[in-house]
Amino acid sequence: MLVGSEGDEALTDLIALLAAAAVVMLLIAVGPKKERRMARLRITPPQAPCPVDDTPDRPMPFGYKSQWYAVRTTDARAVADAFGLQELAPCSWESGLRRSHELSSVFVTPPLGGWTLVVGWSLPDLSSPQEEAGSVTSLLRELSRTFGEAHYYATHRVVEYHAWAKAAGGELVRAYGYVGESDEVLLDVGERTPEERTLGLMFAEPAEPSDRGEGGGRPAEEDVLAAAGAWSVNPMLPPDVPASMGWTGGLPGRRA
């Protein structure tokens, strides 16, 4: 048996060893989780470039496996400038939407019912911390200070990424984001809006199956489109407007 100072030293060494082991286990548990969180939202679009066609055409529906911002204005060029898009070129709906699925291109639609939509997977999504500059929520605040109101929508069935958010007058009103692959709520900020309540878009934190949403289950792509239709424009049901052109370009640091 160890007694006196030898016993105290042995106990101290044992405590230090256990503390070090606990830190290592914590790093092992937390580290990979953060890595997976960043990776699962990094949806890689096709890299094959699509040529720009500047022939005016009518609105084409989109929304599935897409992410887009909705800005309350009919000045599409001003929206393109607000996003800092480079190498801007007039663009048809068809080629613009094709380009929006590329690695670097963004499509700014012609006005739709008082809204201009900005489409592309190279735009900010919810995979980064939202307190950082350039995040979805900070961009929405900035856009809404300039244009009065701005929204974000995204849905991708492969990783079950579904999100909707809105800002008005420079303030974030509501934001919700979910990834089904990990059954994780990425963001749940603000009170549910009356439109969300009417549509039944009320989901709880991941827990026991019986606790999952007032209607059961989790968000789906149709919920994102329904939220878009209630708040602004459902891009799968675009209004019937004359043939026109939008804009295509690339974000700073990426070739369009």
**What whole-number distance in Å separates Cα of residue 114 and Cα of residue 116?**
7
Q: Are residues 154 and 29 in the same domain?
A: no
Q: Are residues 70 and 177 in the same domain?
A: yes
Q: Are residues 36 and 147 in the same domain?
A: no
**What whole-number distance in Å separates Cα of residue 92 and Cα of residue 82?**
20
Q: Are residues 90 and 18 in the same domain?
A: no
Q: Are residues 92 and 176 in the same domain?
A: yes
Task: List the beta bridge partners of residue 149.
Answer: 168
Q: Are residues 31 and 104 in the same domain?
A: no
Range(s) of the domain holding residue 182 = 66-250
**Does 56 reside within a domain?**
no
Q: Are residues 89 and 6 in the same domain?
A: no
Mean pLDDT of 224-252: 96
Q: Are residues 232 and 107 in the same domain?
A: yes
**pLDDT score for 28:** 38
Residue 159: half-sphere exposure toward Cβ, Cα within 13 Å: 21
Yes or no: say if 69 and 34 are a contact pair by the CB < 8 Å rule: no
| pLDDT tens figures, 4-51 | 555 555 545 544 544 545 543 433 343 433 333 433 465 666 556 788
**Does 55 reside within a domain?**
no
**pLDDT score for 30:** 39
**What whole-number distance in Å separates Cα of residue 201 and Cα of residue 74?**
29
Question: What total of structural domains would you count in the chain?
Answer: 2
Q: Is 6 helix (H, G, I), strand (E, B) or coil?
A: helix
**pLDDT score for 134:** 85
Q: What percent of the chain has pLDDT over 70?
A: 74
Q: Are residues 125 and 169 in the same domain?
A: yes
Q: Are residues 27 and 138 in the same domain?
A: no
> pTM to 2 decimals?
0.80
Q: Is 106 helix (H, G, I), strand (E, B) or coil?
A: strand
Helix locations, the chain, DSSP H: 4-40, 76-82, 93-100, 136-147, 194-199, 221-231
**Does 54 reside within a domain?**
no
